[in-house]
């Protein structure tokens, strides 16, 4: 089992913040921001020393919950400071990006980081459509087309034009090309039938997140079946599961910590926007309709003592088939750094060495 640490940048607000998304930019404290990015590097040096395989970053906007609106900038900064760990850039949000620019920047980063890049391409959470004025109804189609264009830009040796539905270019010929050939290990992230089948069609990994093992297992099973239809079989390392983990010395302590956490996601959209978004943003798990996640805290699927968590990881491997875990060891939006540090110490000492062989 490979293990990835999901880095969200821990912004510690000096004053209470409004709870609505978008959070007013004027509420941002630049000293707290600078401290958060300094702290990120210090934490990741520790994460690397503990033996994590990857550090992951993602793309989110307009709030301090995950302070990496440009994950490519974050990844480049991390790659420059850390020398061994693989950088998993589990963004960018494809439908509101320029796919050619994404292909160029990721090729640069892979080369500058000496081939330590892993890429996840995705559609993004519902609220992100508001960030750059994207019509949510077009997001799925733009994601598929953008991902296909990124792959083509990485691999096509001759200049070419692209006559798409949502993107059009007459001249594409990127320099540099990725160091890893034909391109960095790439995942299509998401549980939707469309995302899983795209991954299968293009021989990419798939990434699922947060849901219970059985539900995520349905998605990864759909992916494996689709891969078989395309004549190949994914390795466990091509199935990634992002999850919250709450590990403590005892099961009782872990559950007490969970009860103390808020069950509401911070920084939610106004109800009128959220409700309208739900009618426009169709989501599914391997073809079964589900509501977009627009409020509520994300579940914690690994919880308990080190022994308990190790067993849960074993079960996750069996049910989900995941060979890579991308973990938050403390709620991503929390600036309470003490519990995160304690969780890292405990995980590094009593969990990480035992899940390597799973």
Partner 1 sequence: MSAAFDEGHVEADGRRIRYLEAGRGAALVHLQGAGGLRLTPAQDLLARRFRVVVLEVPEIDRSAELASTLATAVRRMGAVSFNLMGSSFSSAAALSLALQEPQRVSALVLEAPTVLRPEARDVELERRLADLAMPTLVLFGTADGAVSPTMGRVYKERIPSCHLVFVYAAAHAISTDRPEAFAEVVADFLERREAFVISRGQTVIHP
Contact positions vs partner 1 (CB under 8 A)? 145, 148-149, 152, 156-165, 167-168, 170-171
Query: Residue 99 Cβ, how far from partner 1 at the closest point, in Å?
Result: 11
Report, in Å, the least distance between residue 172 CB and partner 1.
Answer: 9
Q: How far is CA 77 from CA 70, 73, 228, in A?
A: 11, 6, 39
Smallest CA-to-CA distance from 310 within 346, 340, 284, 274 is with 346
Phi-psi region of 357 (alpha: psi -120 to 50; beta: other; left: phi over 0): alpha
Residue 149 or 309: the one with the smaller Cβ distance to partner 1 is: 149
Which residues fall within 8 angstroms of residue 261, CB to CB, at 6 or more apart?
297, 331
Q: How far apart are CA 57 and CA 241, in angstroms?
A: 14
Q: In whole angstroms, what is the distance from residue 113 CA to residue 116 CA?
A: 5
Residue 230 CB, nearest distance to partner 1 (Å)? Answer: 12
Run of H or E including 105 = helix 99-112
Q: CB 195 → partner 1: shortest distance, Å? A: 16
Q: Please, which residues bridge with residue 117 across strands? A: 87
Whether residue 96 contacts residue 128, with contact meaning beta carbons closer than 8 Å, is answered with yes
Q: Which is nearest to 267 in space by CA: 28, 18, 20, 16?
A: 20
Give me the least distance between CB of 157 and partner 1, in Å please: 6
Q: Given the complex with partner 1, which of 157 and 272 has the nearer CB atom?
A: 157
Between 201 and 274, CB nearer to partner 1: 201
* Angle (deg, nearest 10), helices 213-229 and 193-201: 40
Q: Which is nearer to partner 1, 159 or 212 (CB)?
A: 159
| 247-279 burial: b if 16+ Cβ within 10 Å, else e | bbeeeeebeebbeeeeeebbbbbeeebbeebbe
Nearer of residues 48 and 144 to partner 1, judged by Cβ: 144
Residue with Cβ nearer partner 1 (160 or 232): 160
The least distance separating partner 1 from the CB of residue 138, rounded to whole angstroms, comes to 14
**Measured from the CB atom, is 25 or 168 closer to partner 1?**
168
Structure tokens at 149: 């264009």
Closest contact distance (angstroms) between CB of 55 and partner 1 is: 33
Q: 148 vs 326, which CB is nearer to partner 1?
A: 148
In the bound state with partner 1, the residue whose beta carbon lies nearer, of 115 and 160, is 160
Packing angle between helix 337-346 and helix 30-50, nearest 10 degrees?
10
Shortest distance (Å) from residue 201 CB to partner 1: 10
Distance CA 125, CA 205 (A): 20
> Parallel, antiparallel, or unpaired for β 205-209 and 186-189?
parallel
C-alpha dist (Å) from residue 305 to 1, 136, 164, 253, 327: 19, 41, 51, 8, 16
Q: Give min distance, CB of 178 to partner 1, in A.
A: 17
């Amino acid at each position: 089992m490979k293990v990835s640490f999901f880095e969200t940048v821990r912004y510690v607000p000096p004053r209470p913040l409004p709870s609505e998304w978008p959070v007013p930019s004027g509420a941002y404290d630049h000293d707290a921001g600078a401290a958060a990015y300094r702290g990120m590097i210090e934490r990741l040096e520790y994460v690397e020393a503990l033996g994590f395989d990857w550090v992951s970053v993602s793309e989110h906007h307009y709030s301090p919950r995950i302070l990496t609106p440009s994950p490519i900038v974050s990844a480049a900064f991390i790659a420059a400071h850390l020398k061994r760990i693989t950088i998993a850039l589990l963004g960018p949000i494809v439908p509101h990006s320029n796919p050619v620019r994404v292909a160029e920047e990721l090729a640069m980063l892979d080369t500058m980081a000496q081939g330590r890049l892993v890429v996840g391409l995705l559609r993004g959470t519902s609220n992100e459509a508001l960030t750059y004025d994207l019509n949510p109804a077009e997001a799925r189609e733009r994601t598929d087309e953008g991902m296909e264009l990124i792959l083509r830009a990485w691999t096509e040796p001759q200049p070419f034009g692209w006559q798409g539905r949502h993107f059009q270019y007459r001249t594409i010929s990127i320099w540099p090309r990725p160091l890893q050939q034909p391109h960095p290990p790439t995942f299509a992230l998401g549980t939707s039938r469309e995302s899983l089948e795209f991954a299968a069609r293009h021989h990419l990994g798939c990434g699922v997140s947060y849901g219970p093992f059985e539900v995520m297992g349905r998605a990864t099973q759909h992916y494996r079946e689709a891969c078989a239809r395309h004549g190949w079989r994914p390795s466990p390392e091509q199935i990634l599961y992002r999850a919250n983990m709450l590990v403590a010395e005892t099961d009782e302590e872990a559950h007490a910590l969970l009860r103390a956490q808020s069950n509401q996601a911070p920084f939610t959209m106004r109800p009128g926007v959220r409700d309208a978004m739900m009618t426009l943003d169709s989501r599914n798990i391997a073809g079964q309709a589900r509501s977009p996640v627009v409020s509520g805290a994300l579940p914690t699927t690994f919880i308990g003592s080190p022994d308990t968590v190790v067993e849960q990881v074993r079960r996750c491997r069996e049910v989900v088939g995941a060979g890579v875990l991308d973990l938050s060891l403390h709620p991503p939006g929390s600036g309470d750094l003490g519990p995160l540090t304690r969780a890292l110490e405990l995980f590094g000492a009593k969990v990480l060495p035992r899940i390597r062989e799973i």
